[in-house]
Structure 1
Amino acid sequence: MHNETQPHLPTHDDEDSSEALSADALLRAYGKESSFFFASPGATWLGRGILASLPIRAGASLDDALPRLFGQARDRGVQRPIVVGALPFDPEAAPILYIPERLERAGRLRHTQPAATESALSGCTTNEFPPPAAYAAGVREALTLMRETALKKVVLSRTLDVVGECDIDQARLLRNLACRNPAGYTFAVNLPPTLRGFTPRRLIGASPELLVRRTGARVLANPIAGTAPRSADPDEDRARAEALLRSAKDRHEHALVVEAVVDALRPYCRIIDCPPAPELISTARLWHLSTRVRGELRDPAATAIELARALHPTPAVCGEPRALARQAIGRLEHFSRGLFTGLVGWCDAEGDGEWAVTIRCAEVEGGRARLYAGAGIVPDSDPWLEVAETAAKFRTLLDALTGGNA
């Protein structure tokens, strides 16, 4: 459907009856003039231009700012405004939220199998930070903290800088990600530029993890934690999946996240349905443990973005207890995460919306891309296996950049 300044265009009310828009057409239409893209298992969104935006400053109160933003859009002719964008890992840092000039909606992408992909860049050099040995040392420090303090889990991340010979084709990168991850959450969010005369700066990725979706009184959260790399050999691939499902270390890591999600939702929900055991889900590169937590709101005034902020950051991207994990991340990670392990999605003025966790992502500008990957560290973690896990997670974006085989 459309969020549009021109009154003759369809509005949100038409979305259930209109089949005029094709999700794949929206993906193909994404280009330099686009301001937002978000494809989930339920719907696909394409934004063009920016009609109104939230002031980019730390500490701004979203409770006050969002109603004003919706009011500005209505004053300019948008019948049912929708805010889109991303929130950073640090809840106190500045969000990137705006209302596009035009926002089109279609159903889910219809890819039935991964399509052939072409490279989104020409030639490249890469640089890891921290390098593998230093990251493994950081994991060992985290394990020492767990022995000496009440820390149960901490997520440690690293980056991979990719520099191409010319500008990265951001539209091609997005299409590659969407084709390879049809069951996930593929996204592109415009960011303030830092370089003059280059292509737009964007956060682009394909997350497997839904933080929260609100549809009326219904709430769905889908925490994911516990990971194993996939294999090209079908028998080995299935063996890895079954080993992950049996892994006491990964089941423990996953349970910490699910417990935190249920605890955060409990004040908002009169009913919560949480399965007793996780299930397996997969991406082109990885197996994950997944639990779908459903709830029914006590108060319909609780919006999707309010629920997302109550949940964020979960132990899947931070750790447990949260305060100790934040301290450990500040001590052991020597870079700013920015929007990585934050939130990306949308929320309408009635409170419905959908927010995914910004993992498997990169910040892209000109010929440069900074990729991010993290791993959950618990007492049974092996430092070099965590190095391997982050390397496997980099592959989602590396494959989409280079057109490599999944």
Structure 2
Amino acid sequence: MYTDTSQLFSVNTATTERMGNEQPTAIELLHRYGAGSSFFLDSPERTLLGSGIRARLSRRPGEPTADALQRLLTDVGQKDDTPAIAVGALPFAPEADPILFIPQQMATADRLTRHAIARTKPTIRNSVTQERPTPAVYAQQVQQALDLIRQSALKKVVLSRMLEVVGESDVDQAGVLRNLAARNAAGYTFAVDLPTVSGGVRRLIGASPELLLRRKGTQVLANPIAGTEPRSIDPGEDLARSRRLLHSAKDRHEHALVVAAVADTLRPYCRTLEVPPVPELIATPRVWHLSTRICGELSHYAPSSFDLALALHPTPAVCGEPRDLARQAIEQLEDFDRGLFTGLVGWCDANGDGEWAVTIRCAEIEANRAKLFAGAGIVADSEPWREVAETSAKFRTLLDALQGDGV
């Protein structure tokens, strides 16, 4: 049985920052996030703020990413009294290069949900938007995916859209993070510095509701979500939508595909694994989701959180089922590179503990531009224009953070 580890959680790093003799609070870390920050993650466990970059992951020719990460942690750990912590993001395509590094300084605090976060102003001004693809074209792509499902062994494929927002001046990136934290307190609010050739600051910023995997010692938790219904501002209609989602055969089927894939992947590593027979509802400010918490006890030989995350990624929640056929369909139908969208963001320490969230409800932001991403899972009973509506609702998480509406 999974036990809450929030009181046991610790980050072992020689560069952990303290304010005098007192640990900083999560709200202090949020407001200290700025130009010198390289990483931020608020989760149901703890809040992390990284500053600067001490060492980056680099892979030798033919070296697996997991081996390169272990080498990085070992090399830095040998220079300090305590093990280091690596943070960063992995792209959707497992073969693509990850962005992983050890911050120069790392501060930790309690979770942000214990604090009231002040509302902030819009973070972009006089902006224009461009959708790629347009809603009509996306609906056509969904229909093409449905044709593939009917004609092949493909059971599910996740198709994505991108929305580019361009303002008259630079986006207030720290403001976007604060807006997301204020409105999405229950999930995983994150910001990761990304390489850039312009000399400016480019970041992946988001608020994901989905935990791919958390490991603490031999305890492991995965929380796949799949199945979505846009929320309503009318309380009665909102309740009706949540009930409709909970009893939707189409969404239950889509969700079951993800849960089965995650459980099947974790089972060989676990001596016990608990998979609830039915999903539960979780809510973000903009959408309802079906959610299942899968809890396990790892066997004596426990792979690291990073190894387990790599084994799971990409799940049917962001790719499809079967995985290979879904990736082929994505390459055929999507007309842009997802990059880090539907990848992973999180941390891992030298002991193998760590947590990795799925990078959904996110944007890549640089200068006056923000690229927002949203996707929807397509199964046999999907309706093209309902999937358009679902992606539009998912865009609202970042649009709210940019525009300040309702935050």
Q: Would the TM-score normalized by the shorter structure come out above 0.5?
A: yes
Where structure 1 has 5 or more consecutive residues not aligned to the other structure, the ranges are: 11-17
Q: CA deviation at 1:3?
A: 6.3
Q: Distance in 2 between matches of 1:113 and 1:234?
A: 24
Change (3 A) 1:153 1:19: farther
Query: What are the Cα deviations for residues 226-262 of structure 1, in whole angstroms up to 9, with x where unaligned?
Result: 0011111111111110110011000000000000000
CA shift at 1:55, angstroms?
2.0
The amino acid that maps onto 1:43 is R
Runs of 4+ residues over 4 Å off in structure 1: 1-7, 56-60, 111-115
**1:5-59 deviations in Å (ceiling 9; x for gaps):** 669x66xxxxxxx962201110010001000000001100000000001127996
Q: 1:77 offset after TM fit, Å?
A: 2.7
Q: Which runs of 5+ in 2 are unaligned?
A: 1-9
Decide whether the 8 Å contact of 1:5 with 1:76 is kept in 2. Answer: no
Name the amino acid aligned to 1:349: A
Alpha-carbon distance in 2 for matches of 1:308, 1:115: 34
Q: Distance in 1 between matches of 2:193 and 2:110?
A: 22
- Residue 29 of structure 2 aligns with which residue? 26
- Do the aligned partners of residues 84 and 78 (structure 1) sit closer, same or farther apart at CA in structure 2, a change above 3 Å counting? farther
* 1:259 pairs with 2:231: no
Residue of structure 2 equivalent to 1:375: 376
Partner secondary structure for residue 116 of structure 1 = coil
Distance in 2 (alpha carbons) for counterparts of 1:56 and 1:253? 36
Which of 165, 190, 193 is 1:190 aligned to? 193
For residue 115 of structure 1, report the CA deviation from its aligned partner: 4.8
1:32 maps to amino acid: A
TM-score normalised per structure 2:
0.94
Are 1:119 and 2:122 an aligned pair? yes
- Alpha-carbon contact 2:48-2:108 (below 8 Å) kept: yes
Following superposition, the deviation at residue 73 of structure 1 comes to 1.6
Alignment partners' CA distance in 1, 2:123 and 2:208 = 19
Distance 1:133 1:113, change over 3 A: farther
SS at match of 1:266: helix
Write the letter of the residue equivalent to 1:126: T
1:72 pairs with one of 72, 75, 82? 75
Q: 2:163 aligns with which of 160, 163, 166?
A: 160
- What residue identity is the alignment partner of 1:383? P
Distance in 1, matches of 2:151 and 2:320, equals: 16
Match of 2:6 in 1: none
Q: Output the CA distance in 2 between the equivalents of 1:204 and 1:364.
A: 7
Change (3 A) 1:33 1:112: closer
For each residue in 1:95-154, what CA deviation from the matched residue of structure 2 results, as whole angstroms up to 9, or x when unmatched? Answer: 000000111111110356775331111110100000011100000000000111000000
Secondary structure of the residue that 1:161 maps to in structure 2?
strand
Aligned counterpart, 1:141: 144
- The answer to whether the aligner puts 1:110 opposite 2:108 as a matched pair is no
> 1:14 maps to what in 2?
none
Do 1:111 and 1:179's aligned partners in 2 also have CA atoms closer than 8 Å? no
Are 1:96 and 2:103 counterparts? no
Aligned match of 2:42: 39
Q: Percent identity?
A: 62
CA distance in 1, matches of 2:228, 2:61: 33
Deviations 1:326-382 (A, max 9, x none): 100010001111110000000000000000000000000000010000000000000
SS at match of 1:110: helix
Distance 1:19 1:257, change over 3 A: farther
Instruction: Quickly say closer, same or farther: Cα 1:222–1:19, change in 2 above 3 A.
Output: farther
Q: TM-score of the superposition, structure 1-length normalised?
A: 0.94
Give 1:397's aligned residue.
398
DSSP 3-state at the match of 1:182: coil
Size of the aligned set, in residue pairs, is 397
Tell me: CA distance 1:278–1:5, structure 2 relative to 1, closer, same or farther (3 Å): closer
Please report the RMSD computed on the Cα atoms of aligned residues, expressed in angstroms: 1.9
**What corresponds to 1:15 in structure 2?**
none
